[in-house]
Amino acid sequence: MIVTLAAVVAYSGYIIHQISGLRELQNNLVDRNRKDSLQLLRIQNDLNSLALAMRDMLDNDEPYPLTAWSAQFERVRTDLDDALRREQEVAPVNRTPEQQQYLKNSVAQFWDAADRTFALAHDSDPTEAKTQIRISLRARQESLSTTISRLLVQNNESEERAADDTRAIYRRSERNVYIFLAAVLIVVVLTSIYLLDYNRRLFGHVEELSLRRSELAQQLISTQENTFRSLSRELHDDFGQILTAIGAMLARAQRRTPGEAGTDKQDLREIQEVTQATLEKVRSLSQSLHPVVLDDAGFEGAIDIYLPVFEKQTGVAVQYEKSGTSRELDRSVATHLYRVLQEALNNVVRHSKSPSAQVRLNFLADAVVLEVEDRGIGWGKGKGRGMGLVSMRERAELVNGRVEFLDSEGGGALIRLTVPAGVV
């Protein structure tokens, strides 16, 4: 991108330079030559007028004396001096000072000779005056006409060279435009190829990191589930059996205690109640870590057991609906579905402030869909940001499923997990 911008700036500067050169060429050569040629034509016209006047002065057809043409010569002299002054102002830059001085001296010499001629005519010597016209004035007028014609030719040649230079500039500019476009196209193509290759390698790296992250998440979740399952089994089997045995022993001790020892019976009853409460807490903890019933009764059986316990513990009324033909689910899929259900219902308790929730399990031909919907405050600005929602998303990816966090039509939040049939 930087190279492309630098090329654009450099080319723009070059084009501006070319345009400036073309403008300078037009101003200094073409326009000045045109204006100078107009003044030279004006001078040439004055010289032609003088030539006609001298012809008439030499002819004997006119009955006027030579001094009669002095007024015409003065008018031509005035116009010629103005034309020469203007011509010097717009003279082309390639006009040498020697040429300007020669033209100025030639005009001055012509008017000196004309003044001498009219002086002779004024002194009543017309023959000598005519001789001066034939010998001196005509030659100087022809020399001036030749000089003016040469300057006109020089101006025309300068204009032709300027036209050639202008065409050359246009050709170079056109060629440079094509070269610039080709260079920009090459730069864009090379940049695009580089960016495509860079993005391909970057996406490949990201994909590799994503695969590693997914593998790590799967390993962590699997390790977590195995740990929870082991702890759950220990709590359920060992501690549960120990507490059950203690409860039974306390019940037997209470029956054997004499009837008059009421205080001892009361103490044994309280110990038995504490033991029973501890047993229930251990079973609840075991259920939270890993529902043993999920291995024994399957996903649907675990739901039937979990939902009443959830209602009793939280006070949130849960409406459960099932549709479609039931089928056995893979154990890992059932575990992830169950964990998503737990996390979704826990979100209802912690965040939604909804007194009720709906759980829908739909067995489709190509997928299993689990939905948890509430009528609480909705997502707000935290949709998909909580750790629980991130965990749901990770679990969905582990079973090639898709989890959606939607707004409920009646207000509240809707979580939908879809697991394809090829996985289940």
Domains of the chain as residue ranges with CATH: 2-190 (1.20.120), 291-420 (3.30.565.10)
CA–CA gap between residue 293 and residue 303 (Å, rounded)? 9
Q: How big is the CA angle at 283 (ends 282 and 289), to the nearest 5 degrees? A: 90
Cβ-contact 153, 36 below 8 angstroms = no
**Residue 318 backbone dihedrals phi, psi, to 5 degrees:** -115, 125
Q: Which residue has the higher pLDDT, 295 or 88?
A: 88
The CA distance from 236 to 229, in Å, is 10
Residue-wise pLDDT tens digits, 383-402:
555 677 888 888 888 888 89
Please give the pLDDT value at position 255.
67
How far, in Å, are 79, 339, 390, 393 from residue 386 at the CA level?
Answer: 99, 15, 6, 11
Task: Encode pLDDT of 221-274 as tens digits.
Answer: 666 666 666 666 655 555 656 667 676 776 766 666 665 455 666 766 777 677
pLDDT at 277 over 80: no
pLDDT of residue 416: 92
pLDDT exceeds cutoff 60 at 62: yes
H or E segment and range at residue 418: strand 413-420
Taking each helix axis as running N to C, give the angle between helix 138-233 and helix 262-289, from 0 to 180 degrees, rounded to the nearest 10: 150
